[in-house]
């Protein structure tokens, strides 16, 4: 029952967040997740396998997702200077700008759909519990 409720809550929140983000002109949620991971990357880029691991997605699905982001001019693929077989993905200037705009929308939606429904203690407890479940 716990897993079913967690799954349903996550799926419903992700669906609603995605729909509202797109309705408000932000990037789709799947794009947002990739772009956010790229922004947070220490070196400003990630290998394709690192992107797939970060977003918990298959390599084929990640490739298609990055293809769409690249077609939109939000990310660029770069050859890895130390490994000719590896490809790095990095945000473009347009991608950084679009991500910044989308973050504002993302935060507003999460505030109304999540933060306002839980008090500070509940948010802290949920954060701790989800961190425990997500630990490797």
Q: How many domains does the chain have?
A: 1
| Euclidean distance between CA atoms 92 and 125, whole angstroms | 37
Say if CB 54 and CB 46 are below 8 A apart: yes
CATH number for the domain spanning 103: value is: 1.10.10.10
In sequence order, what are the residues at sequence separation of 6 or more whose Cβ sits closer than 8 angstroms to the Cβ of residue 26?
Answer: 32, 101, 102, 105, 106
Over residues 69-97, the mean pLDDT reads 92
pLDDT per residue as tens digits for the range 2-24: 999 999 999 999 999 999 999 99
Say if CB 87 and CB 49 are below 8 A apart: no
pTM of the model: 0.86
Mean pLDDT of the chain: 92
pLDDT per residue as tens digits for the range 86-126: 889 999 999 999 999 999 999 999 999 888 999 999 999 99
Pairing of strands 75-80, 83-91: antiparallel
Domain that includes residue 112, residue range: 2-134
């Amino acid at each position: 029952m716990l897993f079913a409720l967690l799954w349903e809550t996550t799926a419903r929140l992700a669906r609603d967040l995605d729909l509202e983000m797109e309705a408000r002109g932000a990037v789709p949620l799947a794009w947002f997740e990739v772009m956010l991971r790229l922004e947070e990357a220490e070196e400003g880029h990630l290998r394709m396998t690192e992107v797939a691991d970060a977003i918990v997605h298959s390599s084929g699905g990640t490739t298609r997702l990055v293809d769409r982001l690249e077609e939109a001019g939000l990310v660029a693929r770069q050859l890895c200077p130390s490994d000719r077989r590896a490809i790095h993905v990095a945000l473009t200037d347009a991608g950084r700008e679009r991500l910044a705009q989308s973050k504002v929308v993302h935060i507003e939606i999460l505030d109304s759909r999540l933060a306002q429904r839980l008090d500070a203690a509940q948010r802290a407890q949920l954060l701790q519990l989800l961190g425990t479940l997500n630990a490797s």
